[in-house]
Structure 1
Amino acid sequence: MTKGLQMSEVTKYYAEGSNRIAALDHVSISVGPGEFVAVVGPSGSGKSTFLSIAGALLKASEGDVKLNGYNISTLTAKELSNIRLREIGFIMQSSNLVPYLNVLDQLLIVKRMSGKVKREDKEFAAKLLEELGLGSKLKSLPEELSGGEKQRTAIARALINNPNVILADEPTASLDTKRAHEVVGLIAHEVKSRRKAAIMVTHDERMLEYCDKVYRMEDGKLSLAEMSRSRGVHV
């Protein structure tokens, strides 16, 4: 069975008056365990639709989406909800932390959504936060954290259910250069060490050096960008 995320000939149509517009046009991509890929492209190119379909938030009009070898294209809304909770970790532009929950509880609320919180869940959450440099912040509220600390909390939250796929949507949008490198470097480290299949949609070309492959999205079509010898990217 093929692990990770595979999309094959995925197309998404939207109705616009009497016309049918293809937001995604026969997109194919395969991301395996331990692989960190980036998708770049201008606004309106189809990146958001692509990420929504990869994250089981939206169904494709045509084509197949496979997660760990299972075709999720035909699942019900409830089944897709379970897939999102157990198999996919999301890291968004803004950390989307719950204002009244401390850092530890930001992770435990995700565990609570999938059942009762056990002692080993609390231990794993604390260990994860320690690993991401937040060991002294377990009881801190979001308003007491820096932008980088908020995003590190979001990374930990994405990993708490031990999902197979990590999807990051512009994770450096609100960060300065130093914090941006820190956050994407951490994502790359966790992807490699925990053998996750990860996709980052970004406008931030400074961050592409952390990625194994870079794809370009334009007019709903996805193509592999050329990597230069210096690991720069021609996009």
Structure 2
Amino acid sequence: MSGIKLTNVTKLYQEGDFKTIALDNISLNVASGEFVAIIGPSGSGKSTFLSIAGALLQASEGQVVIDNVDIASLSERKLSEVRLAKIGFILQTSNLLPYLTVMDQLLIVKKMSGSIKAADREHAKELLTEIGLGKKLDKYPHQLSGGERQRTAIARAFMNDPSIILADEPTANLDTKRAHEVVSLIAKEVKARNKAAVMVTHDERMLPYCDRVYRIEDGRLTEE
């Protein structure tokens, strides 16, 4: 099954005699074409969840399967290949490189995994046009609005045709109108391109765009 599946995942942090349970035996299954939201207060385990789902952090117990591959047993090199090929990240801040044009923000993703081909330029142009940035290909981040920067980041997340999209508070720095534009755009692209997507958010106004909503509190996950 393509998508992402977490089964009985626990994450413990041990400092001396103190043990902190960041994630407590959570299970979640997100199939291709599904857009799932996880809400919860600060310190509830949202960031730990995203780090484990994004192959940035290893679970203490349990299984994380991305596109039928259990990532727990992979070497660091294989994990970085999974992150590059299988996962698209959309962060709170757009994290664009100030010295690259909108077009080059996407092409650098291809450069990281090899060389840039003519088809890659076409794909980047198609993605950017689709999200309303077709006339901004040569602009630099400082020439864009906050919403345009975040849309560039969304296009970049889809550039490598990943199976999984992970969004970390993608509306944190946007006003209400731009926030709705950004999340509706993520939802639209997830459906159109058949990706499994998880968005961590504080912003409950964005939940109607999602197929399912989960709440995380004290490291425990429950469906709303």
Q: TM-score range by the shorter chain?
A: over 0.9
1:17 offset after TM fit, Å?
A: 2.6
Identity of aligned residues (%): 64
> Can you list the C-alpha shifts for 1:55-79, whole angstroms capped at 9, x where unaligned?
0000001000000111011111111
Match of 2:200 in 1: 201
SS of 2:216's equivalent in the other structure is: strand
Following the alignment from structure 1 to structure 2, what is the Cα–Cα distance between the partners of residues 219 and 74? 27
Match runs of 1:67-106 below 5 Å: 67-106=66-105
Q: Could you state the TM-score of these two structures normalised by the residue count of structure 2? A: 0.99
> Deviation string for 1:164-203 (max 9, x for gaps)?
0000000000000000000000000000010000000000
Match of 1:170 in 2: 169
CA separation in 1, counterparts of 2:118 and 2:204? 41
SS in 1 for 2:73: coil
Q: Residue deviations 1:12-55, cap 9 Å, x none?
A: 11013312221000010000000000000000000000000000
The separation in 1 between residues aligned to 2:89 and 2:11, in whole angstroms, is: 21
Mean CA deviation greater in 11-20 or 138-147: 11-20
Stretches of 4+ moved more than 4 A in 1? Answer: none
User: Aligned partners of 1:17 and 1:48: how far apart in 2?
Assistant: 23
Q: Which amino acid aligns with 1:109?
A: I
Structure 1 partner of 2:115: 116
For residues 131-150 of structure 1, the aligned pairs below 5 Å read 131-150=130-149
- Partners in 2 of 1:3 and 1:111 — Cα distance? 22
- 2:106 and 2:183 map into 1 onto residues whose CA distance is 20
Q: Does 1:32 align with 2:31?
A: yes
Would you say how many aligned residue pairs link Structure 1 and Structure 2?
224
Runs of 5+ in structure 1 lacking a partner?
226-235
Structure-to-structure mapping, 1:176-191, within 5 angstroms: 176-191=175-190
Aligned twin of 1:61: 60
Q: 1:102-151 deviations in whole A, cap 9, x for unaligned?
A: 00000000000000000000010001100000000000000000011001
What's the RMSD between the two structures over aligned residues? Answer: 0.5
Q: Which runs of 5+ in 2 are unaligned?
A: none
TM-score (norm 1): 0.95
Q: Which amino acid in structure 1 is aligned with residue 127 of structure 2?
A: L
Residue 210 of structure 1 aligns with which residue? 209
Cα distance in 1 for residues equivalent to 2:20 and 2:150 = 35
